[in-house]
Amino acid sequence: MTASWQCPEKIILSLDLKEELLGDSYKDFEEIEYINTKERLINILNLIKKNAYRKNYIASPKLLESKEFSDTTTLLEYLSRTF
């Protein structure tokens, strides 16, 4: 999750090919591509290879610039409500 905030333009994949316990932790985050089948993984990798992959969501850096947070917990609570 931190990587998606630090580098929103980067492609971030979450693999859960064996449907493990808590493997779907990032399933509902638009900025992270959740992959749970081999076919989907191959499709996404082919799109990346062809430079045709587009992220559904890119966070605006200005969103966080306008806010001040007293600690990390407050920031995470804000982000969970916002995204």
The total number of structural domains in the chain stands at 1
- Sign of the four-CA dihedral 57, 63, 64, 67: negative
Encode pLDDT of 15-44 as tens digits: 988 888 877 788 878 888 899 999 999 999
Q: Which domain holds residue 33?
A: 2-82
Distance, C-alpha 29 to centroid of its chain: 5
The C-alpha angle with vertex 2 and arms to 47 and 20, in degrees rounded to 5, equals: 70
Encode pLDDT of 38-82 as tens digits: 999 999 999 999 999 987 655 555 555 556 778 888 878 877 776
Q: What is the pTM of this model?
A: 0.59
Q: Would you call 14 helix, strand, or coil by DSSP?
A: strand
